[in-house]
Amino acid sequence: MPSLPSAEQPTLTGPRVRLRPWRPDDVDAVLAACQDPEVQRWTTVPVPYRREDAEAFVLEVAPSAAERGGALFAVEFRDGGPLVGSMSLLALREGVASIGYWTAVEHRGRGYTGEALRVLATHLLDRPDVRRVELVADVRNTASCRTAESAGFVREGVLRRRSVHRGQEVDDVMYSLLPDDPRPAR
């Protein structure tokens, strides 16, 4: 199974968070979260971020992610409630899963995204067709780097000028998690 078809996209649960498929009623929460300058600074969301961007993400991009070898998840509290953030399997190619994420400003610094990252990475590494989970963060994005490390990802090194983000060359940090790497307790 090379991807997670949207019809079969699982809901994944951790001790405090749940990763679920996006729903139409998430549009307003995505619109609000993506107004945050830090989400705009570190991700590729359009700037300015408009309602039609949120609608396209929730109603078109997320459901079609499986066609591109991925799966996009809304992160919320385990028992429901407000949107905590987004967790994405961006691609799954040749046994390598690439992940990305963002967190709504009001939920940062509490470990929810690290937990969601552990939940998704564990789900992926339990599959026989996944040998590596990786993520890349701008070297200056210390919050994202701390999140990756809190989830047990190993910092492999800096990839100089790997990306161009909003017209600027960026040094990225590569993180990975392998099936036999030690994982932090949930």
Q: What is the per-residue pLDDT across 73-93, written as a single tens digit (0 to 9) for each?
A: 999 999 989 999 999 999 899
**Residue 57 scores a pLDDT above 80:** yes
| Mean pLDDT across the chain | 92
* pLDDT band per the 50, 70, 90 thresholds, residue 3: very low
Residues 119 and 13 sit within 8 Å (Cβ to Cβ): yes
pLDDT of residue 159 exceeding 60, the answer is: yes
pLDDT at 6 over 70: no
pLDDT of residue 186: 59
Q: What is the model's pLDDT at position 54? A: 97
pLDDT of res. 165 = 86
CA–CA separation, 113 and 80 (whole Å): 15
> What is the reported pLDDT for 61?
94
Question: Which pLDDT score is estimated for 68?
Answer: 78
What is the pTM (predicted TM-score) of this model? 0.91
Residue 37 pLDDT more than 50? yes
What percent of the chain shows pLDDT beyond 70? 95
178: left (phi over 0), alpha (psi -120 to 50) or beta: beta
How far is residue 50 from each of residues 35, 39, 60, measured CA to CA in Å? 9, 14, 15
pLDDT for position 4: 46
6-133: what CATH class?
Answer: alpha beta
The confidence score (pLDDT) of residue 1 equals 34
Q: 107-122: per-residue pLDDT in tens?
A: 999 999 999 999 999 9
Rounded to whole angstroms, the Cα distance separating 85 from 106 reads 10
pLDDT of 29 strictly over 50: yes
The domain segmentation of the chain, as residue ranges, is 6-133
pLDDT confidence of residue 175: 98
